[in-house]
Chains A and B, each alone.
Chain A
């Protein structure tokens, strides 16, 4: 049971939650650039949030699958095209076997998260399936995907059930995309750890100006251009640790926001760190979009995180309830069929027969979805 890469996209890698516990040895934590989108994509197809998925940069892959699967793409207004029909992002799409799936790019988002039901059956390296491209570690053979790659998947059973009721409402999506499309986005940051190295004027400039995302941005960090941030005595510090979202002011006085594949240590002063709650939003910004930094306390940042987690829990339980409701409906209408009859039914009958057969066949797969 495998996924075939027909066209990989310029930079598509396997990523999961990240490689943790090895930063002390110099291993970047890697993992999802857009954590919120990745969690959402995984949950929509029925995976655990942290499951490995395909992360692409702007242009997504063209794939086909040996067996039916459920896919979901999140992180921007990407779409999935299957058999001539186009499906929006933020919904589960059921893809039949051996049919081409194409990812289309819209106006919003950079790193798209494409989740596949059941996850990817590739080995972990140091506890993670995330790819560290720079060192050829992890993911699929330590590199970005290439045309012709055949990537093993788990459990064909889990993809047979069409779960396309798992979707974010179109109206909500519109609002979401509109908010990411704004010309200036406010990003909340926590000051430090080297704020005292900057002059009062420098700090004022940093919080009072607009900075533009440049094209020199990648998984290691996003370079911003804008008014120089003045320091008291240069920007060099004794190398210390770097967290995801750390904002370094480099030699030319402009900010760089450190992202998933950042080096673990660095010698430039850090004026602030992006709040976790805004990191995913920041990752979605395209070159040309501008940001304004908003000073926030660590207490407020953590309060916002907890609030977001509450919302997330509600969303997940809502999806779970929806699952139970839809499956209950199906059971009432269908009859118990064996798997062979379902397959036979697919071949012999027309479109309506196909649908009836699917409905009837899914009773055996219930257990997994009840997680």
Chain B
């Protein structure tokens, strides 16, 4: 199996799986990462999954570049021979759309020509693949948004987008795990704490997992927020086949 492997300096390398955004390419990256991580490869310190490539960080004092390339090729060849495991898990994220939680929802309706109900329905009926995380800790790059919802970014970005804000920028959708400046059109907010350093899993999801947004009303928002603050909220994680 001929892999496109390139050095990125002397302490990392990248395995290129493709050159476009496509679910099957990203799934190949996700599968490789999960397999290699579980199997363990000598000298590797961490993996970073992106749209179509897998970056492998390693300790050059424990393994040399050529040796690592050899090990990775062996391991991935082994992986090809094995049965495909299930895909990543799906996290259900409750979102309160519109009103004070989604100040740009009206603009999105105007721009797309769709009613509020249509926008909410189309946004929350997809299962979005998490292609990668980047820009901010826990910031998701999601794929699969309905193109009819496409709306350009704000002309001038907000100084602060609140934590949990769900938005649209161009053909992309996503959610802010922490407050940050940003130019996304905000259509809703989730009461979930997507980033929590006190939690065992600081971020609830990883690349290769999926996200579904579930519409809730303000009452439910406040209830969930309380539960999250108390630590009594149970996250809805769905695995394939359940």
Contact = CB atoms under 8 A, between A and B. Distances in A.
Interface of A: 20-27, 125-126, 132, 135, 137, 190, 192-193, 238-241, 243-246, 263-266, 270, 273-277, 298-299, 301-302, 305-306, 309
A137 to B, nearest CB: 7
A353 B141 CA distance: 67
A302 B9 CA distance: 10
B46 A21 contact: yes
Contacts of A25: 133, 137-138, 202-203, 206
Contacts of B138: 25-26
Nearest to B20: A238
A22 B50 contact: no
Q: Considering residues A132, A241, A244, which has the most beta carbons from chain B within 10 angstroms of its beta carbon? A: A241
A71 B169 CA distance: 50
A26 B55 contact: no
Interface of B: 6-12, 14, 19-21, 33, 45-53, 55, 57, 60-61, 64-66, 132-139, 141, 178, 197, 202-203, 206-207
22 contacts: A20-B45, A21-B45, A22-B46, A22-B203, A23-B57, A24-B33, A26-B136, A26-B203, A126-B202, A190-B10, A192-B7, A238-B19, A238-B20, A238-B50, A238-B51, A240-B55, A244-B11, A264-B133, A265-B50, A273-B8, A276-B9, A302-B65
Contacts of A132: 137
A241 B65 contact: no
B148 to A, nearest CB: 24
A243 B197 contact: no
Nearest to B61: A309
A239 B197 CA distance: 26
Given A24-B49, A25-B137, A192 B60 contact: no
A240 B140 CA distance: 14
Contacts of A192: 6-8
B179 to A, nearest CB: 9
B7 A190 contact: yes
A140 B149 CA distance: 43
Contacts of B49: 24
B21 A238 contact: yes
B9 A275 contact: yes
B136 A193 contact: no
A272 to B, nearest CB: 9
A246 B137 contact: no
Contacts of A270: 8
Given A21-B45, A298-B10, A305-B60, A239 B141 contact: yes
Contact of B135 (A23, A126, A263, A276): A263
Contacts of A21: 45-46
Contacts of A299: 64-66
Contacts of A135: 136-137, 178
A241 B55 contact: yes
Contact of A193 (B14, B19, B20): B14
Contact of B132 (A137, A265, A274): A265
Contacts of B132: 239, 265
Q: 7 nearest interchain CB pairs?
A: A241-B55, A273-B9, A265-B134, A26-B133, A301-B10, A243-B12, A241-B48
Contact of B197 (A126, A238, A265): A126
A126 B207 CA distance: 19
A137 B137 contact: yes
Contacts of A275: 9-10
Contacts of B12: 241, 243, 273
Nearest to B11: A276
Nearest to B139: A26
Nearest to B208: A24
A25 B232 CA distance: 24
Contacts of A20: 45-46, 57
Given A21-B45, A126-B202, A193-B8, A240 B178 contact: no
Nearest to B141: A239
Contacts of B52: 238, 240
B205 to A, nearest CB: 8
Given A26-B133, A190-B7, 8 more contacts: A22-B202, A193-B14, A238-B53, A245-B9, A270-B8, A273-B7, A305-B10, A306-B61
A263 B134 contact: yes
A27 B195 CA distance: 11
